[in-house]
Structure 1
Amino acid sequence: MKLILTQEVDGLGSPGDIVEVKDGYGRNYLIPRNVAVRWTRGGQKQVDSIKAARASRAVRDASHAEALVAKLEGEPVDVKVRAGAGGRLFGAVTVGDIAQALTERAGEQVDKRTIVVTNPIKTLGAHTVTVRLHDEVAATVALNVIPS
């Protein structure tokens, strides 16, 4: 089955890529989750619009990404969350919360889809996340989760 990806899928591709997958994977997983749409001959316009939107959100080049890494990796970024008396959080720290804190620190928009959280953050204290700013550039950012 030939599909056009609308969102990034680990191990498969990024938005706008045309991929060939098994029928069941496409029909039962990718399409119902709005991660991909069926490929058609007229789908090239859709691919172009997806890639144009991605390019407008993406960091322009590797040197700009390196400058942004320097801003983000300097000091720990404070993320304020609601917490109980014992230091337990009400839920977990979301990538949206992290993106908002990183945007305030960097002074530039950081897309939440570029943030990789390996383990859910459910406690106060120091944590680390990875931010993929460019194809070749990634930043390891120290977070300090504090109660609000």
Structure 2
Amino acid sequence: MKVILTRDIPSTGRKGEIKEVADGYAKNFLLPRGWAKPASTAIVAQVQAQRESELRHQQEKKQTIATLIPLVKKHSFTLTVKTGKDGQIFTAVHPEEIEKAVLTFAHTQPGGAIIDEHDIVCAEKPIKELGEKQVRITFGRGADGASFPITILVTGSDEN
């Protein structure tokens, strides 16, 4: 029986794959648990169209990331933290804040709306002092990703 897997199943296949399995395995195990759907010609065509759409989306994202990387490298990001009267910092600049700043910048660029928060990773420790810092980020996922330093300027604002 041909089925479309709705989740990864060890020694059977990955989610979205069309597999030929024994009738008993499909009827007694996969279908009742919702781990697979019978593969009719309409569903097979739908799955193939979805795969092609995902592939086009990935290619578009790859091209967008390639055009955004030089822009992100050149841009200097300014983040403001609260400071006391003596210039002491009350909070640190966390990696999530850096990722959000890069994501916001990416969304302002042409085609940048396709980038999501999972495409930008900053694995640095929180920044606890004012001034200009070099921070390494990874832009993109997997083999399409690029890791490079960006400039972060941490400025203070008096808390009143």
TM-score by length of 1: 0.50
**Structure 1 or 2: more helix by fraction:** 2
TM-score by length of 2: 0.47
